[in-house]
Structures are given as structure tokens and as C-alpha cells.
Amino acid sequence: MKISPFRKLQSLSKKKKIGGEDSFGYSYESPGSMPGTLRIDHNALPPVISLVEYNATDWLNIEETTPEECGKHLGNSSVSWVDVGGIGDQKICQRLGKVFRLHPLILEDIVNVPQRPKLEVYDDQLLIITQMVVPMANRKSFWLEQISFILANRYLLTVQEEDESDCFDGIRDRLKQNKGVIRQHGTDFLAYSLWDAVIDGYFPVLELLGDRIEDLEDEVVIRPTPETLAAIHQVKRELLALRRAIWPQRDALSDLIRDHSPLIQHDNFQYFRDCHDHTVMIIDIIETYRELASGLMDVYLSAMGNKMNEVMQLLTVISTIFIPLTFISGLYGMNFNTANSKWNMPELNWEYGYFICLGVMGGITVALLIFFWRKGWLKM
């Protein structure tokens, strides 16, 4: 799918990494709104529609088409995959609903984002809502994007929030090159292939999170800082976002396998079971990482407590040494008669003795601050 530079700039400007303000919130309609009300974000990109039509021998790809043009291909014996990137035009969304005979609630769910991943059964259609995870360019975080599948007998309609950065390039290449068995199957196998690509996209992100957790383990043990605590909190929030995205997909796959929809051939249920196994594996990894992150928090608090004990021990030793000295100097006041001996407070007779004393006190203060700073105590 071709993307103009202007649309790329729009898309990059609206993306927010997980862990920021309101990154976990779901949107809701105003109380009393009619069912099927479409609420489109003003920052949403306008739709770009592409059509892929194929069978065992032929393949057709049409870029930047219209809903009505796609409707002309729905009656063919071939499989039609209509991919919509962007939901920023209400009229085009309504035209899609008319051409594909979408229930108003289906149109509401695919437009009002974000929705909780789920599976909904309608008369001759299946609605599958998933969350795709996309790593950011710096590979230090990610964002989540909603993808909706509307599965019918001869077509599959996919609706994405944006028209770039999806994980379907491998599927498009397999369709074009006729690799594997995907073109020998129907829309249900295509839906499995796309859903499996979405779920498999979680593994690279989890690998990056695992590397970050390992780095944080070393940092917590060797040199913990307040920035380390902020990084641990960020990892925990990202793991929570992944958990909230993948857990409902496991439930949706369980419902799909258990209900045995007539839109899915019996031989293809084993593929969806494999997809379900991947979600279980991802959830296990996420739970393991969450336990490690919680353990890192405990280790950080213990390390900071031990560091504080070391600081207090050193300061206690210094204070203990100077307590009797301060007592003696305070008792006598250091007011020894300089007439009896030239060694009794000779600095009292110096012309600049007062300023020298202030300089010595200032130097001691600066030296102690430098010492505390190099020890890292001033950052606590």
C-alpha cells in the first residue's frame, strides 16, 4: 500500500508510546447515545482501501480503490481481501457498511477505537477485534493499534487505524508469490494467517523487554539511581499494556474454537488452536517478566536501604569522632591567652586571620560536597 509523505508525517505526529498519560484508557460513548453511533477522532487518518483477489491460479491487487469498486468483486468465486488503512472519514466508513452489509454495531466497534479485543458472531459474519503491537523506531518502546477482521464466506474485510506499519507484508508476499497453501484455502485460512501474524508480532517486543529487564537487573545491583526506578515503572506499565492487549485475544480464540462457526472449515480449527497456544505462551512470558519487574522493585528498595545504611554508618563514625572534640572546644572556648605564649591562638593576631578562617571553612564545605557527590549521596 502506497503512503504519501504527508500522511506519514501525520501518522508519526499522532503516535504515542505506551506508558504515557491516558495510554491505557478506553473510550466510551456519551450516556444515552444511539447504538451504532460513530465517533471518529479528528486526528484519525482518512481511509486508504486496497483489494487483493485470489484463487489457486490467479491473483489480483488493486491499490487505493473505493468501497463500491470492491463490492463488484464480492460475487466472484475467488477470495477477496479488502484492507482499509485509516478510519478518519465517516462517509467512507458508512459506504463500507452499506457495501458489505455491516451491522451498525460492527461499524461502531471498528470505528470507535480503542476497543477491547473480542469475538462477535453475527448472521453471516464474524467480527474479530485484535490489538497489533508495533515497535517504535528507537526500539525502546511500542504502540498498540486496533485491527478489526470481518469474516464472511467469500471475503475478509480488515480495518486498521492507520495504513502503515502493519505486520501483513509477509502475507501479501505469500499471496503474490503463491507460496505455501494460503491460496488453496478460503477466507477462514486468510483470517488465521493474518491473526497469527498479529500475535507473532508480540514476540520481538517481548524480546526487547527481556533485554531491558536484564540491563535493569545489572543496574539495580551495581549502581541504582532514581532513573532506574523510573525505568522499572515504565517496563511494568508496558507489560501491563501487553497483558491487557493479549489476554482477551486468548479468550476470543477460545470462543472461536469452542463454538465451531460454520464460516470456518473443520480442518482449519487446528490452525486457530495453534494460534491460541501462541497467546498462552505470550501470556506466560508476560507474567514471568512482570514477576521479574516486581522483584526488581524489591531489589531496588533493598539496595537503596543498604546504601542509606552505609551512608549513615560513615556519617555516624565522623560525628562520633567530632563529638568529644566539639565538647572540649566548646567548654574552653579556645580563648587561650596569647600574651603567655606565642603558640596560643597565634591566628588571632593575623591581619587576615578572619578571612583565612572563613576560607578554610568554605573549603571544607566544598570538599565534603564533592565527596558526597562522588559517592552519589546527593542523588538519594
Query: Residue 167: its pLDDT value, please?
Result: 86
Average pLDDT score, the chain: 83
Query: Residue 14: its pLDDT value, please?
Result: 47
Whether the CA torsion 193, 198, 202, 204 is positive or negative: it is: positive
Query: Residue 37: its pLDDT value, please?
Result: 73
Is pLDDT of 6 > 50? no
Q: Give per-residue pLDDT as tens, 155-198.
A: 999 999 876 678 898 999 999 998 888 999 999 999 999 999 99
Query: Residue 13: its pLDDT value, please?
Result: 42
Q: Give per-residue pLDDT as tens, 212-247.
A: 999 998 888 888 888 888 899 999 999 999 999 999
Q: Give per-residue pLDDT as tens, 322-374.
A: 777 676 667 666 677 777 777 777 777 778 877 888 888 888 888 888 887 88
Could you give the CA distance from residue 378 to residue 380 in angstroms, rounded to a whole number? 6
Q: Give per-residue pLDDT as tens, 99-120.
A: 999 998 999 999 888 889 999 9
Query: Residue 281: its pLDDT value, please?
Result: 96
Could you give the CA distance from residue 331 to residue 320 in angstroms, rounded to a whole number? 17
Reported residue count of the chain is: 380
Can you give the pTM of this predicted structure? 0.77
Could you give the CA distance from residue 69 to residue 62 in angstroms, rounded to a whole number? 10
Query: Residue 23: its pLDDT value, please?
Result: 45
Q: Cα dist. 250→7, 74, 106, 122, 253 in Å? A: 33, 31, 21, 20, 5
| Residue 159 CA, distance from chain mean position | 21
Q: Give residue 51's pLDDT band: very low, low, confident or very high (50, 70, 90).
A: very high
Is pLDDT of 11 > 60? no
